[in-house]
Structure 1
């Protein structure tokens, strides 16, 4: 039977907990690590993103995920190492190509340093550092980071002395492709998530008491979203509001959050401290004081909405600058995720 390599087990478990244990034929431990990580990741995502989830719980689960991941890597190494008692824990004298791959996956160039390939190490390290800096300015360069990681991985193994290598170029190429796929998946899962969920911080008391200054909220963005009465929405500053802000000398506000009061085709009237929609009083248990102004009656035009802040007498909203164009809406606010004492679903 061919002797298994403890550092190959480590590299496999870096893709996902349990894979290194399966390679070491420790199937029970492999199933434990695999299922445990899947469960922890699922509950962490739910805690962070679902309206009913608790952000503090999610943070605790992230710590558990990181801990399990590290334990899994050490265990993957130990699962093979214990059968190879003459093997060095850290292969310094008897160098190991899979250890070079392991170092490269931590930071491209480290494996080349381990292989005493100074020029290649400087090249990979320099390009990796440059991309890390440039990615903040040019987002499209982010795709190059996992590509460089995959190339460095392939290079670290294939340039190793022939007598030390046990895998052919085709197998290592497949391994490098897996490094690329995992890098792209981890990087762009966050980009994908940001196209659907946005974070905002409340800057004023216009939505008090529902929202307070400093509350951090999650907003679900959906192209087919049709706001309903009562929804809390975030939107870009409409043209009329921007014009009035300029005239008053107020600081320009890029985003607003208000409550949908009336939708297209509905008649809105505010009279004697009460909001009426199609001549029926709107029940608003979230208000803490009567409305001091009169407005309407008017019918909401197609393609627009009537929005008000919950702090009615101190809110710069539709009763000042008019109807909100639907194209300005970013999405529906559905959760306060921070600070801890304010975590709660919205609506």
Structure 2
């Protein structure tokens, strides 16, 4: 840390980002609610807290609050004292809501606890919101997921669909990033989500460094996604998961629907129906998504020229890769590489 900078209490800091000379720190606020699951509560502090710049300065300030600043009852046999009340939410760049057991019993806006609703009312329009596990129920009840895709714990997916038909549930992913609002599946998927946020903010090198420090994998199921949902096969011999794993090893080949259906031992019509039910995408959409994902990883981690990357991921030409990447994230390969290069 710059010895001339007093850190989080810097008087030159604005309400959103604390700035000292050329150093900006992103403020993460964790909202702890009664019944919070301790593991999920600790994820943001542990992972964001391990992210530093090349000089060892923290990239995030993480603070934890409760609606009224009082101790919070957890899902375990202890309570947790916090230092802040909900007022800090108004200054959050990212708000993280860990899972609490009671969230799955929330059915609509009217069943939101009053203090929770008051806390959410303080969220600024430009604040990024991340819900872990069944926090998806809370976000849906608050209307923050209307018309969006979302993930939640698989145990609660059918009930979530019944309660919130206005939300497009992605049942077979680790997390969903819709831009402003992000949601994850179960507890461990919260790690994937936070690493994804760090990678989105600061690139692969920082995210991988955090993963090493915390002794967790920096990515799961074949490559870290950027602004995408990551399919998670239920088991090696169930549905289309085996074929998806087979296809991931052959993205450089000109795979067609007939190839995928043939590998799965299904007709093309049956395979397409099963695939969409499990993944939420058509086989063609999924293949494009995986190819874009692999291209991003190669742009981040290698010196391969764009045309060579296009061949490696199955797009064939650099022009095709540029088109697909621009459609997916709105930037060309060169810009992406400069932004996220490890």
TM score, norm. by length of structure 2: 0.23
Higher relative contact order (CA 8 A, sep 6+): 1
Q: TM-score, normalised by structure 1?
A: 0.23
